[in-house]
Amino acid sequence: MAHKGFTLWFTGLSGSGKSTISERVGHQIQKMGFPMEILDGDIVRTNLSKGLGFSHEDRDENIKRVGFVCQLLTRNGIPNIASVISPYRAARDHNRQKIKNFVEVYVACPVEVCAKRDVKGLYQKAMAGEIQHFTGVNDPYEEPLNPEITCHTDKESIEESVEKVIKKLQELGYLS
């Protein structure tokens, strides 16, 4: 059975819920009988983008590398998920132009809520000046202007967010 490849690009602050939602969405898609690959930002950073820092240029390079892999998967009929902060709009737009069937999911959550969820204490360290270039604290996050899906994880449950994503993919014709 031939599948239609697509890239589901999750973007949002650290702690917003990107990984949690994307894992559950990926599991749902697999249960529907589709192959699925998930590229999570933390895993990508230790493998595909090892050695890159957190400067604007390095972040853009990281996002372009993830986008290249997503482009290959999509082109070969493999649905895939990228779950990466991807703070800069231009880098996300670059990938949107390169990847056919690109669906952007903005996981919106106020920085104060993300900081409360932070089990690693990274927000606290960034706010104390111990970590530089931390997105949402001392480095910018440029919100998407027209994402196909927005999940407000401070107002909706994980299940509601997952359902919203699956429903939109069905509406777009990527899942039957």
Q: Where are the domains of the chain?
A: 7-171
Q: Where residue 170 falls among pLDDT bands split at 50, 70, 90?
A: very high
Q: Residues 7-171: name the CATH superfamily.
A: P-loop containing nucleotide triphosphate hydrolases (3.40.50.300)
89: pLDDT strictly greater than 80: yes
Region of residue 106 (left: phi > 0; alpha: psi -120 to 50; beta: else): beta
N- to C-terminal Cα separation, the chain = 13
1: pLDDT strictly greater than 80: no
How far, in Å, are 36, 138, 144 from residue 156 at the CA level?
25, 27, 19
Distance CA 73, CA 9 (A): 13
Q: Using one digit for the tens of pLDDT, what is the confidence trace for 15-73?
A: 999 999 999 999 999 999 999 999 998 888 888 888 898 889 999 999 999 999 999 99
Quick one: CA dihedral 61, 64, 70, 76, positive or negative? negative
Q: Using one digit for the tens of pLDDT, what is the confidence trace for 106-119?
A: 999 999 999 999 98
The residues that are catalytic are 86
Distance CA 133, CA 140 (A): 8
Q: Is the pTM of this model over 0.85?
A: yes
Do 78 and 37 meet the contact criterion of CB atoms below 8 Å apart?
Answer: yes
